[in-house]
Amino acid sequence: MHEQRVEHDVGQQAQELLRALKDLGAGALPQTWPYLGTAGGPPFRDIVDSGVFTSGGTDSTNVAALDPWSALFYMTTGRNVAGIVTNAGQQISRLEALRLYTEGSAYAAFEEDHLGSFGEGKLADLVVLSDDYLTVPEDRLRKVESVLTLVGGRAVYAARPFTELLDM
């Protein structure tokens, strides 16, 4: 594991901006930078602690599809894909990161009445994961994958032992 660390200081100006956003009822929509950059990244911890609305996401779909695991790894460890800590002090818990990706993203898309959390009348798309996201060791977090994906009540992806569900 690389030991290089890049310190990240949000600073007074950013804190004032977060307070202003909160006062306005506005949110912050940081995009994760889980690649090889070393210049720090979004101040996830400061945003979550400020109480400002936020969501999880990445702009990677502008260049290629990216599963969320690299971004969730980055948000929770502060480490880029090379393993270098580039966002020290801005890590959030796995549960906080999951909420940003689910409830937060649904809210940001004006879909919170239909998506993002379990509730009566909401769509029930779901995945069965290869590992327990909340407890898998940090070095395996980026390797978590779906073994069963249901969309609209139908299996759209299945790995063993769920492959027979694709034929239903």
pLDDT at 61: 63
139 & 111 share domain: no
Q: Are residues 97 and 75 in contact, defined by beta-carbon separation less than 8 angstroms?
A: yes
Instruction: Over range 134-161, report the average pLDDT.
Output: 92
In tens, the pLDDT along 63-90 reads 666 778 888 998 999 998 888 888 889 9
Give the C-alpha separation, 7 to 40, whole Å. 7
Evaluated on CA atoms 56, 61, 65, 71, the torsion sign reads negative
Domains: count for the chain: 2
Question: Which residue range(s) make up the domain with 46?
Answer: 1-116
Residue 83: CATH number of its domain: 3.20.20.140
Q: Whose CA is closest to 56, among 93, 8, 3? A: 93
109 & 144 share domain: no
83 & 154 share domain: no
**The whole model's pTM is what?**
0.83
SS3 (DSSP) at 81: coil
Give the C-alpha separation, 46 to 52, whole Å. 9
The single-letter DSSP state of residue 60 is: G
